[in-house]
Amino acid sequence: MANNLFIAFEGIDGSGKSSQAKLLATKLESMGHKVYLTMEPTDCHIGSLLLKILRHHIKADHNTIALLFAADRIEHLLDKQNGIMKKLSEGFTVITDRYYFSSYAYNGTHTDMDWVIEINKMSAQIRRPDINIFIDVPPEVCMERINTNRATTELFENLDNLRNVREKFLEAFTKLKHEENIFITDGNRSVEVIADDIWKETERYLSMPAHTGV
Ligand code: ADP
Ligand code: TYD
């Protein structure tokens, strides 16, 4: 049995990733699993720089942004204290709010997607998620949620961009369907119904033989 999984939540801004990641973490913990909930961009030095770019405090070229996200991901994986690999080796189920498909979709909207996949190859070699969970919500609905909840919007949070990013997610899933486990759930439903859908899929992976890469 796979005791601890590596699960990545993906989706456009406002799709409900962090809500669902927390619900899944709580559910797993209630069943006795140790869970480490994390996110990208991270709160390390490269992640902090990315936040400044996303919040319009500093400007950067889209190629630079793609490279910074790829670098932030390596730190996220390999940090000696709180890295994903360390946590997995300690028996935690690791749930991350965004991983490399976010790079393929967001950064692949503004520069060549194949190049973005290339610069993230090392992360994929180090650890692919056991499941990539994509919460699919119409960009219009996400923009409404973002505008209701926040006074400011970040770099990629506009309707045209989110439409393109959603298309890029779907393109990346098709491109990598033979290498990646991808689960797409309709996120335009109630929080509880989506959580139930995600739980059923997670349970399936929990009953499979353990991952041998960690
Ligand atoms: P993300 O992490 O993808 O940006 P959040 O989980 O922060 O998304 O959700 C964005 C907003 O939408 C929050 O205000 C949250 O309460 C709300 N929300 C999340 N899931 C749903 C849902 N299924 N239906 C309606 N609103 C939702
Ligand atoms: P996040 O704060 O998770 O946004 P939200 O909670 O609203 O979904 O992510 C920050 C932004 O960074 C988001 O617009 C997506 C973008 N991003 C990239 O462009 N490339 C990446 O590799 C990642 C992880 C995020």
pLDDT mean across residues, the chain = 95
| pLDDT, position 3 | 78
> CB–CB of 96/144 below 8 Å?
no
In order of start, what are the domains of the chain with their CATH numbers?
Answer: 6-206 (3.40.50.300)
Q: What pLDDT, on the 0 to 100 scale, is given for residue 151?
A: 86
- Please give the pLDDT value at position 214: 46
Task: Assess contact for 150 and 157: CB atoms under 8 A.
Answer: no
List the residue whose alpha carbon is closest to atom 1 of ligand 2: 13
Kindly provide the residue ranges of all beta strands, DSSP E only, lying in the chain, ordered along the sequence. Answer: 6-10, 35-39, 93-97, 131-136, 182-186
Is 13 a pocket residue for ligand 1 (Cβ < 6 Å)?
A: yes
Q: Is the pLDDT of residue 210 over 80?
A: no
Helix (H) or strand (E) holding 193, with range, is helix 191-206
Condensed to tens digits (0 to 9), the pLDDT of residues 173-204 reads 999 999 999 999 999 999 999 999 999 999 99
At residue 2, the pLDDT reads 57
The C-alpha atoms of residue 116 and residue 184 are separated, in whole angstroms, by 22
pLDDT of residue 83: 98
Q: Check whether the bond before 41 is cis (ω within 30° of 0).
A: yes
pLDDT of residue 149: 85
The whole-number pLDDT of residue 1 equals 53
Under 8 Å between Cβ of 109 and 172: no
Among 19, 22, 54, name the best residue to mutate to test ligand 1's pocket (greatest count of ligand atoms within 8 A of Cβ): 19
- pLDDT digits over 102-153, tens only? 999 999 999 999 999 999 999 999 999 999 999 999 999 999 999 998 889 8
- Of 74, 50, 77, whose CA–CA distance to 62 is shortest? 50
Sort strands 131-136 and 182-186 into parallel, antiparallel or unpaired. Answer: parallel
DSSP state of 1: -
* From 9, 12, 13, 119, mutation site for ligand 2 pocket: most ligand atoms within 8 A of C-beta: 13
**8 Å CB contact between 97 and 39:** yes
- Span 64-97, pLDDT tens digits: 999 999 999 999 999 999 999 999 999 999 999 9
pLDDT at 213 exceeding the cut of 60 = no
Other C-beta atoms closer than 10 Å to the C-beta of 63 total 15
* Model pTM above 0.85: yes
